[in-house]
């Protein structure tokens, strides 16, 4: 077995022994290599008592080396692969987790180091796929507003050649994946379980399509269960692997908000979509915008690209009202135009009085307004043209035959449809007991 194979096997064994991101194990691997670290642990030499307790708890379930060999064999049967830092496709951005600090002693905030290895299912090279990528995260119990905005943003990102990354959960995550697929783009699902273990089960067909055209990735070996704490561990990779993260909807307590905490700590673009102030699903978004100066408001894909792209690569046009012919008028011409009555005519003297402008100036400006097609000369004075009536800012009732505004935002299913994966026909999980999902932590 080559040194590279030894390293890969040791990293898989260490990942089986301790949860990904473990600070002490990662530091030992950095200092002496994965194979030497594994040998030291198997010999019973532990850097910390807590590491010894973790290894003792796992040792009763099997030999780490044997379990690693079985995991690698299972990986090959799946058509998947294990990517390690020495591989060309290793995503370099995740190494930024090496310096992530939160100053808290609990494991979720302490053990946030880079992965030792990553399981990947799909044909695309992982590093290249993540080079131009944006994560889109949010609530599982998303509203129609959140789904609509997610569809718009994810579809627009994929159209521009950016990879859409999310966690594969119901709601915002699944919609982001489907939008990217609908745009013919690349999407990556970062899982908190094995790449052979679809969770939630209702998204099984979606995961299969992602594996065919995009990538499934995980820090856990095939067959690993989606335990509650693993979603929180997984979130640091979503934050670190991409160029920026968009939060669409999140409750006050949400795993998606926790992901944004990692994004902010890594000094990556933390982009937040505001929602209705009455919506419980936007409370987390609004609190981040209120309390975290590093967050930025975004409402569409162009604004996201403006934040994550290279300087000068994208430019999001500022929102503007509809342009009118009167916008290009000078001040005196605008005053004269405002003085012309909506109906009927008015002579120059009357217009001068109403506008508060000298008669000579009125005559000059009337000529200009005629040239622009805003007024027309009549026998008894000047009248507004149809174009001028449309351009002058005046309130008028809608005509009786005006179309009614839409009753609601169109559903995502009405906008895009992926074969066999129609958003609007998403099936509920089968009526059987499944692993419990973390209500506020899978976001």
The answer to whether the Cα torsion of 284, 289, 292, 294 is positive or negative is: positive
Which CATH number is 325-391 given?
1.10.10.10
Would you say 326 and 391 are in contact if contact means Cβ atoms under 8 Å apart? Answer: yes
Which are the contacts of 282, defined by CB distance < 8 A and separation ≥ 6?
A: 249, 250, 274, 275, 276
- Give the tens place of pLDDT for each residue, 23-78: 999 999 999 999 999 999 999 999 888 898 888 888 778 899 999 999 999 999 99
Predicted pLDDT of residue 60:
79
* Predicted local distance difference test score (pLDDT) of residue 104: 78
Q: Scan for tokens 């500022």, then name that residue.
A: 318
Q: What is the predicted pLDDT for the residue at 401?
A: 43
C-beta neighbour count of 26 within 10 angstroms: 22
Confidence (pLDDT) at 68: 96
Rounded Cα distance, 6 and 118, in Å: 16
- 79-317+418-425: CATH architecture: 3-Layer(aba) Sandwich (3.40)
Which residue stretches of the chain have pLDDT < 50? Answer: 393-443
CA pair distance 170, 167, nearest whole angstrom: 9
Other Cβ atoms less than 10 A from the Cβ of 213: the count is 16
User: Mind giving me the DSSP string for 5-60?
Assistant: HHHHHHHHHHHHHS-TT-HHHHHHHHHH-HHHHHHHHHTT--SSHHHHHHHHHHHT
CB 165 within 8 A of CB 241: yes
pLDDT at res. 237: 98
The residues that bridge with 381 in the sheet, in sequence order, are 378
* pLDDT, tens digit (0-9, with 9 covering 90-100), for 368-427: 999 989 999 998 899 999 887 776 544 334 344 444 444 444 444 444 444 443 333 344
What pLDDT does 442 receive?
44
> What's the pLDDT at 391?
61
- 333: Cα within 13 Å, side-chain hemisphere: 19
CA angle 177, 443, 258 (to 5 degrees): 120
CA dihedral sign of residues 70, 72, 73, 79: positive
Provide the pLDDT for residue 311: 79
* Model pLDDT, residue 414: 46
Where do the domains of the chain lie? 1-73, 79-317+418-425, 325-391
């Amino acid at each position: 077995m080559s040194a590279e194979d030894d390293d890969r096997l040791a990293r898989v064994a260490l990942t089986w022994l301790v949860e990904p991101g473990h600070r002490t194990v990662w530091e030992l691997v950095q200092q002496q290599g994965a194979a030497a670290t594994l040998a030291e642990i198997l010999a019973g030499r532990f850097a910390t008592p807590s590491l010894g307790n973790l290894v003792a708890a796992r040792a009763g379930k099997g030999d780490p080396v044997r379990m690693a060999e079985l995991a690698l064999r299972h990986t090959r049967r799946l058509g998947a692969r294990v990517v390690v830092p020495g591989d060309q496709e290793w995503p370099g951005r995740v190494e930024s987790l090496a310096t992530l600090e939160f100053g808290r002693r609990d494991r979720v905030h302490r053990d946030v180091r880079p992965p030792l290895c990553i399981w990947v299912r799909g044909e695309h090279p992982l590093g290249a796929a993540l080079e131009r990528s944006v994560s889109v995260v949010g609530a599982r119990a998303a509203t129609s507003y959140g789904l609509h905005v997610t569809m718009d943003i994810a579809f627009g990102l994929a159209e521009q050649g950016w990879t859409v990354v999310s966690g594969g959960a119901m709601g915002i995550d699944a919609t982001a994946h489907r939008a990217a697929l609908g745009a013919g783009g690349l999407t990556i699902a970062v899982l908190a379980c094995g790449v052979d273990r679809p969770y939630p089960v209702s998204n099984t067909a979606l995961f299969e399509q992602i594996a065919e055209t995009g990538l499934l990735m995980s820090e856990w070996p095939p067959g690993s269960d989606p335990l509650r704490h693993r979603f929180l561990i997984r979130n640091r990779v979503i934050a670190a692997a991409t160029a920026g993260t968009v939060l669409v909807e999140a409750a006050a307590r949400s795993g998606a908000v926790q992901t944004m905490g990692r994004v902010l700590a890594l000094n990556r673009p933390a982009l937040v979509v505001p929602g209705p102030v009455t919506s419980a699903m936007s409370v987390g978004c609004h609190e981040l915008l209120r309390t975290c100066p590093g967050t930025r408001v975004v409402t569409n894909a162009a604004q996201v690209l403006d934040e994550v792209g290279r300087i000068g690569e994208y430019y999001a046009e500022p929102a503007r009202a509809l342009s009118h012919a009167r916008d290009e008028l000078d001040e005196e011409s605008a005053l004269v135009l405002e003085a012309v009555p909506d109906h009927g005519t008015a002579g120059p003297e009357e217009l001068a009085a109403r506008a508060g402008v000298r008669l000579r100036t009125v005559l000059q400006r009337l000529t200009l307004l005629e040239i622009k097609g805003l007024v027309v000369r009549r026998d008894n004075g000047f009248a507004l043209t149809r174009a001028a009536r449309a351009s002058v800012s005046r309130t008028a009732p809608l005509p009786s035959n005006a179309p009614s505004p839409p009753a609601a935002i169109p559903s995502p299913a009405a906008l895009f449809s992926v074969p066999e994966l129609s958003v609007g026909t998403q099936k509920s999980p089968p009526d059987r007991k499944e692993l419990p999902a973390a209500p506020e932590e899978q976001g």
